[in-house]
Chains A and B, each alone.
With several copies, the nearest count.
Chain A
């Protein structure tokens, strides 16, 4: 998986590309925790380039979200498609996380 980050209009935008699965989810979770420690509070995960996610991937996102909430931060998702959209919907994660069609809307409405 490729991870690119960028600070933009007060958001911490994290672009994921490829696959978020059991082989890299704990590393990704650690990275999230580091960004939070470094003071980032308003995360947007841009999943436009993410092709695959498993429950291990969801778990890492959930852990980061809980940590952020505890620090009065937020985490939202945007640009889901294909399997990723399906998994997020089927698992009900779209009920507990904010999900936006694209990055512009995520930054406007969040």
Chain B
């Protein structure tokens, strides 16, 4: 089987199940434990944003599609919320002092830094965020 897919209610209480879906599948497909942690982090950050910001009338839904490509383990997060391209966001100011440090903006930044391939596309009424890691420790 090369692709598996599951749809979840997009609310904070289901995030642990979404993370479990991704990490159990990654483990079964032989992704290195360290990279599974990176994936889990990206899934938590991205789905938390979908649950919090994507839908004008929450909760909406989020579909997670997992593909076992030859070189990469890829997941796509698909929602029907407001258009939002996380790749277009500026990185937070990491040098800011404690006092001025903003509490937000980190989630998207971590997603971009932890994975090997991240890209966004808008497809019809859907946001598609594609996240991938290589199988090995790297």
Contacts and interface: CB of A to CB of B under 8 A. Distances in A.
A93 to B, nearest CB: 9
A62 B92 CA distance: 15
Contact of B15 (A23, A52, A69, A90): A23
Nearest to A58: B106
Given A52-B41, A90-B113, A95 B103 contact: no
A7 interface: no
Given A23-B15, A54-B44, A83-B37, A90 B110 contact: yes
Interface residues of A, number: 25
Q: Contact size class for B? A: 20 to 34
B95 interface: yes
Contacts of A63: 103
A54 B101 CA distance: 17
Q: Secondary structure of the B side of the interface?
A: helix
Given A22-B44, A92-B95, A96-B101, 17 more contacts: A23-B16, A52-B40, A54-B44, A54-B45, A54-B48, A54-B110, A55-B110, A63-B103, A66-B98, A83-B34, A90-B114, A91-B106, A91-B109, A92-B94, A95-B94, A95-B95, A97-B98
B16 to A, nearest CB: 6
A90 B42 CA distance: 14
Contacts of B98: 62, 65-66, 69, 96-97
A76 B105 CA distance: 23
B15 A22 contact: yes
30 contacts: A21-B44, A22-B12, A22-B44, A22-B48, A23-B12, A23-B16, A52-B37, A52-B41, A54-B41, A54-B44, A54-B110, A55-B107, A56-B44, A56-B48, A58-B106, A59-B103, A62-B98, A66-B98, A66-B99, A83-B41, A87-B110, A90-B109, A91-B94, A91-B110, A92-B94, A92-B95, A95-B95, A96-B98, A96-B101, A97-B98
